[in-house]
Amino acid sequence: MNVQYPVPLSGAKSSTLMWAQEHEVGAQALQQLRNIAALPWVHGVRVMPDVHLGKGATVGSVIAMKQAVSPAAVGVDIGCGMEGVLTSLTAADLPDDLSKIRSRIEAAVPVGFRAHEYPVSVRKLGLDRGWDTFWGSFSSLHDGVQDREKKAQQQMGSLGGGNHFIEVCLDDEDRVWLMLHSGSRNIGKELAERHMRIAKSLPHNADLPDRDLAVFLAGTREMDAYRRDLTWAQEYASRNRAVMLALVMQAVRESFEQPVRFEKPISCHHNYVAEETIDGLDLLVTRKGAIRAGLGDLGLIPGSMGTGSYVVRGLGSERSFYSASHGAGRRMSRNEAKRRYTVGDLIEQTAGVESRKDAGVLDELPAAYKDIESVIAAQSDLVEVVAHLKQVICVKG
């Protein structure tokens, strides 16, 4: 049956439109969305096709608020997002054995809990703009994180774990792309958790249906402090991806005898807050697991470590609050994936991809994620496909 999207969420107290059917979404996630829509500051909620349960706020949600913002609606990985770039290489340039390229990338970019032994020399990478001002503002961040500056500097240009990745991909024309997914590392997490605790303690949040949805209100010192730290962490995430991409580009250059050229990178946050005009109102728009898809905006929507990704261009849909999905979205929890599948399943589902094939990434196997093709099809009114990518190398923490 063909469904015309969007569809309204039943029982929602404010305008809530979904690019998914309710029977496809877990009951807990649906209740979470209704809880969000019931907040008195919410103008409207938009739900992307990759929607699934999150901590506090639902992953795949776009929340437009009046004079308020919920830290949980951003999440702990502030500024998490994607970076991608088209190279001058083609499939014919790639060696049969891709393990050496993967090893070069892993040597250049720390993964998992690892960090650089010394801060990356951004000037040697040609990324020398604004760093002194950026790091100079560290001392103004939330009390208690000032002793984390060295760690934050060493983690700049590192991947992390979970669903974060670095990939070498081929598009349908056999052109080689580089793509990566990461965020604000431990410093973003620390800032987010500190502000979430503060928000829960404020009197105006005492009677909320879910205390994880606690908000800060405009005009308060708590809101000002959160917006300051949020903006800094979003910039950290963006700079982190830029440094990583430069390191990966360098590793790829060193893997080939011929010169390798790179186009202008595509970059997009998918856990962030922005001031935007929605329905003629100036609102604070939070995207948690969603990208901005304004008219002409380029974005990246990844699938899983075995199913490929999409480069898209926004169609400027007002009904979606100018948004689209951030990926395929999980169809089961990490623990469930580990219970249901084996390393053998992982190996089978990532056949043809040079990647880890061990129990440490079992919860990231393709079967744990929704079908990316269906997710893209459900938002045909939100984005147009620019390129379909299939990974040949996938690096994970």
Annotated binding site for GMP: 163-167, 270-271, 302-305, 309, 326-329, 396
**Whether residue 6 has a cis bond before it, omega within 30° of 0:** yes
Annotated binding site for Mn(2+): 77, 164, 181, 270
Distance CA 179, CA 86 (A): 9
Amino acid in the structure at residue 245: L
d(CA 92, CA 115): 34
Given the residues 52, 195, 269, 326, the one annotated as active site? 326
Whether 269 is catalytic is no
**First-residue to last-residue Cα distance in the chain:** 40
Which residues are annotated as part of the binding site? Answer: 77, 163-167, 181, 270-271, 302-305, 309, 326-329, 396
- Cis omega (within 30 of 0) on the bond before 110? no
User: How would you list the strands of the sheet with 281-288, edge to edge?
Assistant: 7-8, 15-18, 42-52, 59-65, 281-288, 271-278
Three-point CA angle 42, 48, 53, nearest 5°: 80
Backbone φ and ψ for 250, nearest 5 degrees, come out as: -65, -40
CA–CA separation, 341 and 201 (whole Å): 41
Give the C-alpha separation, 223 to 377, whole Å. 38
What contacts 13, CB < 8 A, 6 or more positions away? 34, 37, 38
Q: How far apart are CA 325 and CA 245, in angstroms?
A: 22
Packing angle, helices 221-253 and 185-201, rounded to 10: 160
Sign of the C-alpha dihedral, residues 19, 25, 29, 31?
positive
Residues involved in catalysis: 326
